[in-house]
């Protein structure tokens, strides 16, 4: 039997990159998936191949920095699929710049989307998960939140903050049977990383003990594990998906 048969998951930022790979992996294991994205039209186009196959996926516009959007997301998911069992806080943005040149608005935006958005999502599902005495939350952090990246003080701070959020929420919600964990991807081949200059990408790849960058599907596999019953006694953990980079 599929690992997530009859379960429903919300994935924020699920229309591209790692988020899209997570959506496909959860669908493969029998889950219904609610995909939240700031650009509903673009997300619908990206997910059209899945929708045309009749898979149980629903796209809804959501600004993860807006509390009301999270409430609507949960309500829609319950109305459509009858339940919510998992939340993957994946939505994120970058606005890079060295401290002296980084605009305050770009610092605020990255913290709002990457960190506050995950907090709001967690708060939105918490009453439901507590009431049903179960649920799984996975926050998508980054190796940047462990080792820091120059020119990414905002992004590194937000991704480090997700680890603190994960551990604190795990302690708060654990007594209700709710698990909160995080994945911490390293260098992953995606549109964002492949936009780097080839020599910079090669230098970062050379830092990976396994000698290569990872794939979005490898992050999706780790996420699937954490939301599935296979991780039933894992709570407050941070699972690095980095090929050993940063150890």
Known catalytic membership, residue 233: no
In this prediction, residue 197 carries a pLDDT of: 85
pLDDT over 90 percentage in the chain: 93
Tokens (6 digits) for 221 = 């596999």
Q: Note whether residue 1 is domain-resident.
A: no
CA distance 146 to 192: 19
Cβ proximity of 181 and 165 under 8 Å: no
Q: What is the pLDDT of residues 34-66, one digit of tens each?
A: 999 999 999 999 999 999 999 999 999 999 999
In this prediction, residue 189 carries a pLDDT of: 92
When pLDDT is cut at 50, 70 and 90, the band that residue 192 belongs to is confident
Q: Note whether residue 81 is domain-resident.
A: yes
Average of per-residue pLDDT across 193-204: 86
In this prediction, residue 232 carries a pLDDT of: 98
Q: Note whether residue 201 is domain-resident.
A: no
CA distance 80 to 146: 38
Mean pLDDT, the chain, rounded, equals 96
Q: Note whether residue 203 is domain-resident.
A: no
Cβ proximity of 226 and 170 under 8 Å: no
In this prediction, residue 194 carries a pLDDT of: 79
The domain total for the chain is 1
Domain of residue 80: give its range. 8-188+218-241
Q: What is the pLDDT of residues 124-180, one digit of tens each?
A: 999 999 999 999 999 999 999 999 999 999 999 999 999 999 999 999 999 999 999
Q: What are the phi and psi torsion angles at 9 (to 5°)?
A: -125, 145
Q: Is the pLDDT of residue 85 over 90?
A: yes
Q: Note whether residue 196 is domain-resident.
A: no
Counting Cα atoms < 13 Å in the Cβ hemisphere of 86 gives 32
In this prediction, residue 247 carries a pLDDT of: 86
In this prediction, residue 83 carries a pLDDT of: 96
- Rounded to 10 deg, the angle between the 153-173 and 117-132 helix axes is 10
Q: Is the pLDDT of residue 78 over 80?
A: yes
b/e per residue 195-229 (b: at least 16 CB within 10 A) = eeeeeebeebbeebeeeebbebebbbebbbbbbbe
Q: Is the pLDDT of residue 24 over 80?
A: yes
When pLDDT is cut at 50, 70 and 90, the band that residue 187 belongs to is very high
Residues near 244 by Cβ (< 8 Å), separated by ≥ 6? 208, 209, 210
Look at the block and give the residue holding tokens 């439901």: 128
Average of per-residue pLDDT across 11-24: 96
pLDDT over 70 percentage in the chain: 100
Q: Note whether residue 206 is domain-resident.
A: no
Q: Is the pLDDT of residue 91 over 90?
A: yes
Give the CATH number, domain containing residue 115: 3.40.50.720
Q: Note whether residue 122 is domain-resident.
A: yes
Q: Which of 81, 107, 129, 155 is catalytic?
A: 155
Q: Note whether residue 97 is domain-resident.
A: yes
CA distance 110 to 118: 12
Q: Which pTM was predicted?
A: 0.96
Nearest C-alpha neighbor of 55 from the set 31, 37, 78: 31
CA distance 71 to 79: 12
In this prediction, residue 220 carries a pLDDT of: 98
When pLDDT is cut at 50, 70 and 90, the band that residue 32 belongs to is very high
């Amino acid at each position: 039997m599929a690992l997530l048969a009859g379960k429903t998951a919300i994935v924020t930022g699920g229309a591209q990159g790692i988020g899209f790979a997570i959506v496909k992996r959860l669908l493969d294991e029998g889950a219904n998936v609610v995909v939240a994205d700031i650009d509903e039209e673009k997300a619908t186009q990206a997910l059209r191949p899945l929708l045309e196959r009749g898979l149980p996926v629903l796209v809804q516009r959501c600004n993860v920095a807006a509390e009301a959007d999270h409430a609507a997301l949960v309500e829609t998911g319950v109305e459509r699929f009858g339940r919510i069992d998992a939340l993957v806080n994946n939505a994120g943005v970058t606005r890079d710049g060295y401290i002296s040149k980084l605009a305050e608005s770009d610092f605020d935006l990255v913290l709002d989307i990457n960190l506050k958005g995950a907090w709001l999502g967690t708060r939105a599902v918490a009453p439901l998960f507590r009431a049903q005495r179960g649920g799984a939350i996975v926050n998508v952090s980054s190796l940047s939140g462990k080792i820091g990246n120059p020119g990414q003080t905002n992004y590194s701070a937000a991704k480090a903050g997700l680890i603190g959020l994960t551990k604190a929420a795990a302690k708060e919600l654990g007594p209700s049977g709710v698990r909160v964990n995080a994945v911490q991807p390293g260098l992953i081949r995606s549109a964002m990383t492949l936009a780097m200059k080839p020599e910079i990408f090669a230098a970062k790849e050379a830092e990976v003990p396994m000698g290569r960058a990872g794939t979005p599907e490898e992050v999706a596999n780790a996420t699937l594990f954490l939301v599935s019953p296979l991780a039933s006694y894992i709570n407050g953990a941070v699972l690095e998906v980095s090929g050993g980079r940063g150890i």
